[in-house]
């Protein structure tokens, strides 16, 4: 394989700020909505809130840590698959 040529520097904030801003406001509105509806006790909402605390860390591995926070931490196969889909957050 040829050597890696890094991309030329571009303003990533220009490229991504408005999109990220929009997604963050959407998330805030979602949390408001489920709270007003009395549904913020759902484990998936709690998983989102836990993940939000990871965004203020300094290391540039927030995406990885958020994904880890949603993941099943067990290591052994389960006895039987009782459903086919996934939910998005591990229920302890």
Partner 1 sequence: MNYIEPHGHMVSRTTDCYERMALAGCQAICEPAFWAGFDRASADGFHDYFRQITEYEPKRAAKFGIKHFCWLCINPKEAEDLKLAEDVIALIPQFIDKPGVLGIGEIGLNKNSRNELAIFERHLQVAQDYDQLVLIHTPHLEDKLKGTHLIVQALKNFSKIKPERVIIDHVEEHTIDHVLDHGFWAGITLYPESKCTPHRAIDMLEHRHAERIWMNSACDWGVSDPLAVPKTMQAMRIRGWTPEMIQRVAWDNPRAFMGQCPKFSI
Q: Which residues bind partner 1 (CB under 8 A)?
A: 1-2, 4-10, 12, 15-16, 61, 63-64, 67-68, 70-75, 77-90
What's the CA gap between 53 and 85, in Å, rounded? 27
Least Å distance between CB 66 and partner 1? 8
Closer by beta carbon to partner 1, 56 or else 75: 75
Residue 91 beta carbon to partner 1: minimum distance, rounded to whole angstroms: 8
The H-or-E segment that residue 35 falls in is: helix 12-36
List the Cα angle 7/11/16 in 5-degree steps: 105
Nearest to 47 by CA among 57, 34, 59: 34
CB 65 within 8 A of CB 54: yes
Cβ closest to partner 1, residue 36 vs residue 84: 84
Tell me how far, at minimum, the Cβ of 49 lies from partner 1, in Å: 16
CB of 59 to partner 1, least distance (A): 12
């Amino acid at each position: 394989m040829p050597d890696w040529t890094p991309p030329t520097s571009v303003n990533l904030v220009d490229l991504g700020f408005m999109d990220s801003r929009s997604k963050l406001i959407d998330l805030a509105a979602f949390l408001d909505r489920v709270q007003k509806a009395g549904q913020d006790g759902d484990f998936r909402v709690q998983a989102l809130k836990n993940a939000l605390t990871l965004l203020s860390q300094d290391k540039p591995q927030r995406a990885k840590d958020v994904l880890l926070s949603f993941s099943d931490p067990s290591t052994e196969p389960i006895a039987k698959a009782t459903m086919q889909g996934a939910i998005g957050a591990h229920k302890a």
